[in-house]
Amino acid sequence: MQFPGLKAGDRWCLCAIRWLHAYEAGVAPKVNLEATHEKALEVIPLTYLEKFGI
């Protein structure tokens, strides 16, 4: 997916529910697990996040 102003390597914040929607649609972005708040686990199973961890 292309967004104006973003380039390869950029990072941005994505709320947990939107990430889960992207995961379910097969287009989830990679996740910096060290920068992900533990409350995300209230919405997203850890196994999902681990598959996309960088």
pLDDT by residue for the chain (54 residues), tens only, comes to 566 777 877 888 889 999 999 999 999 999 999 999 999 999 999 999 999 998
Domain ranges of the chain: 1-54
pTM over 0.85: no
- Distances from the Cα of 39 to the Cαs of 3, 4, 20, 29, 43, in angstroms? 27, 30, 13, 18, 8
Closest Cα partner for 44 from 10, 1, 3, 33? Answer: 33
* CATH fold for the domain made of 1-54: Multidrug-efflux Transporter Regulator; Chain: A; Domain 2 (1.10.1660)
